[in-house]
Structure 1
Amino acid sequence: MINPSDKAAEDPAAPAQVRRGTQSIQRVVALLRELTAHNKKGASSSQLAASTGIDRSTAHRMLQCLVGEDLLAFDNETRRYRFGPLAYDIGFAASERLDLTQLCKPTLARIADDTGDTVFLMVRSGDDAVCADRAVGSYPIKTFVVDVGTRRPLGVGTGNLAILSALPEDVADLILGHNAGRIGAFPGVGLERVRALMVHARKMGYVAMDVVGVQGVRAVGVPVFVGGKPVAALSIAAIAARMTPEREEKLVKILGRESEALGLALDRRVSSDAG
C-alpha cells in the first residue's frame, strides 16, 4: 500500500503550500477510492483511515467535510459513510459521455408509436431518479404526469419504484430509510404502501399502479439494466379507462422487450468505450 503522503513529496521544488494542497487532494481521493469498494454497506472513518494509511483524526475531518458538501452521507446509527447525492450527480454527469438520453430516444419513440401513449425515461441519481426524457404518442388524451428534469425519491412514481424494486433488498431498504421523510410528503404515499408495491413488483417483474397525485391515470414500468444494475426505467402512463388488465399486460410485454434491447445496447456502448 502506498501512503498518499508519499506522492505529495514527489516535487520538492514545489512551494510548501502547493505540496500541502496536493497532499490533501490525494488523501481525499484515496478515501473516496477506498469507499467505492465498500459503498454497499458503507465504511467507518477508522476503517477508511486504516486502509489508506491516513491519520484517523485527519481522515475524520476530511470525511465530515465531504458530508457537509453532500459528496458523502453519514449514517448515525451504523456510524458508517457512503456516497451522497453529489457523488451520484457527478457520476450521472460523467455517464453523459454515453449520451444516455440520445441513445434512448429511438426506444421511447418506438414505444410511443406502438402504444399511442406517453412514455417516460427515468434515470437513477443516488437515492433519487430524474426524468431524463419522454415521448408522446398519438392518443388524443395526453398524460404529462412528470416533466423532464423532475427529480423524485426512489419509491415515488412508477419508474422510480421499478428501479428501487430491482435493487438488492438490503440496498432498497437502506434507500427507503434515507427517503422516508420525503416519501411521506407525497399525497397518498407512505413507506408501508411503497414496501407493499415493491414486494409485488419483485414478484411480477414490473410495476403497475395509479399515478401519484394524478387522479384517473395509471402507469406501468420496468427497470433497465446496464452491467447487471438497474440504472433507469421505462414507463407508460395513460388514463385509467384505457389501462385494462389485458392492455396493461400487453404494455408490459412491449416495455420488457424494449428494456432488454436497450440494456444490451448500453452494455455494448460501455464495453466499446472501455476498450
Structure 2
Amino acid sequence: MSNPIKPNEKTESGLRTVQRALDILYCFTVEEQELTLTEIANKINLAKSTTTRLLATLEQNDFILKDPNTLKYRLGQGLYYLGYIAGKSIKIREIAKPIMERLRDETRETVNLYILDKESRVCIEQCEGLQSIRHLVKIGEKLPLWAGAGGKVLLAYQSEAFQQQIFKQVPSKERLETLQKELPEIRLQQCASSIDEREVGSAAVAAPVFNINHEVTASLSVSGPTNRFTPEIINQLKELVKVNAMEISQKLGYRES
C-alpha cells in the first residue's frame, strides 16, 4: 500500500502547481504574443504532458486561449478583465509616496512627482527636503515642459508632433537649439538634469516613470539649491533617481522589453 501524502506535501505540491501556472502566463510578451505547446514547455522547462494539463485549466478560466487552426496559445480575456480592475485600482501617488519619502531621506533634498497635463507639467506629490534651505514647488502648479529636468524628461518621450508644439513656447533660439540636442540624450540616458533653467538658484535631476503601455506621462525629480548640485552630486543623483523611478514604473505594471 502506498504511503499517504502528508498535509505539508500537499501544500508544497499545490504551491508548485500555482507557480508553474504563473510561469506559463509570464511566457507571453509583447514580442511573443502567441506560443506553441512546445515553446511554452521549453520556456518553463516542464514536460509537455504537465504543461498541457496546466494550459487546459488556464483555458477553462479564460486566462489562456487556444487557436483551433494554428494550435497556438495566447492570453485570454480573463486576464484582460483582471488587468482592467487592477489598472483602475492603481493610484500613482499612493505607489510613489513611500518611494519618494525613502529617496528624500537618502538625498535630504526635495522629491517631486510630475505628470503631463496637456502642454504643461503639474506637481501632484512632493516630499520636502530635510535641509534648512530647500527648493519647493506648489502642488497643482502648472510648469513648462521645455525648462527644468522634470519637464524635459516628460517632453523627451512624447511624439515629434507634440514636441514641435512645445518648441514654439521656447523664448530664444539658443535655448531651443540646446533643448533639441538634449532630448535624444535624455532618452538614451533615461534621465535629465537642469541648473538655473526654470528658476535661478535651483537645480534638479529627473527620470521618467513608465506605465504598463511603455508610455511616459510622469517623471520623478530631486531638486535643491544650485550650490549643492555639483557635477559629482548630479551624477550620483541620476543613478538614484533612475532606480527609484523604475521601481515606481514596475509597480505600475511596466516591464522592460
CA distance in 2, matches of 1:202, 1:177: 17
Distance, in Å, in 1 between the alignment partners of 2:245 and 2:218 is 9
Letter in 2 for 1:128: S
Of 159, 180, 184, which aligns to 1:199?
184
Aligned to 2:66: none
Shift, 1:237, TM fit:
0.9
Which of the numbers 114, 118, 122 marks the counterpart of 2:106? 114
State whether residues 119 and 145 of structure 2, in contact with CA within 8 Å, keep that contact through their aligned partners in structure 1.
yes
1:164 aligns with one of 132, 143, 155: 155
CA distance in 1, matches of 2:90, 2:187: 29
One-letter amino acid of the counterpart of residue 215, structure 2: K
Tell me, in whole angstroms, the C-alpha distance in 1 between the residues paired with 2:174 and 2:148: 10
List gaps (5 residues or longer) in structure 1. Answer: 1-94, 269-275
SS in 1 for 2:234: helix
Q: List gaps (5 residues or longer) in structure 2.
A: 1-86
1:183 is aligned to 2:170: yes
- CA distance in structure 1 between the aligned counterparts of 2:226 and 2:161, rounded to whole angstroms: 32
Verify: 1:210 aligned to 2:195, yes or no: yes
Letter in 2 for 1:176: Q
2:116 to 118, 124, 142: 124
In structure 2, the partner of 1:262 is 248
Of the two structures, which has the highest relative contact order with CA contacts closer than 8 Å and spacing of 6 or more?
A: 2
Q: 1:1-275 residue pairs with structure 2 within 5 A?
A: 98-144=90-136, 146-167=137-158, 171=159, 173-184=160-171, 190-227=175-212, 228-267=214-253
Question: What is the CA–CA distance in structure 1 between the aligned matches of 2:163 and 2:186, rounded to whole Å?
Answer: 15
* Amino acid in structure 2 at the alignment position of 1:246: E
Q: Which of the two has higher C-alpha Rg?
A: 2
Cα separation, 2, equivalents of 1:246 and 1:190: 24
Structure that is richer in helix per residue:
1
Runs of 4+ aligned structure 1 residues displaced above 4 Å come to none
Superposition CA RMSD, Å: 2.4
Q: Which amino acid aligns with 1:183?
A: V
Identity of aligned residues (%): 22
Displacement after TM superposition at 1:193 (Å): 2.6
C-alpha displacement at 1:254, in angstroms? Answer: 1.2
In 2: Cα distance, 1:247 partner to 1:220 partner: 10
User: How many corresponding residue pairs?
Assistant: 167
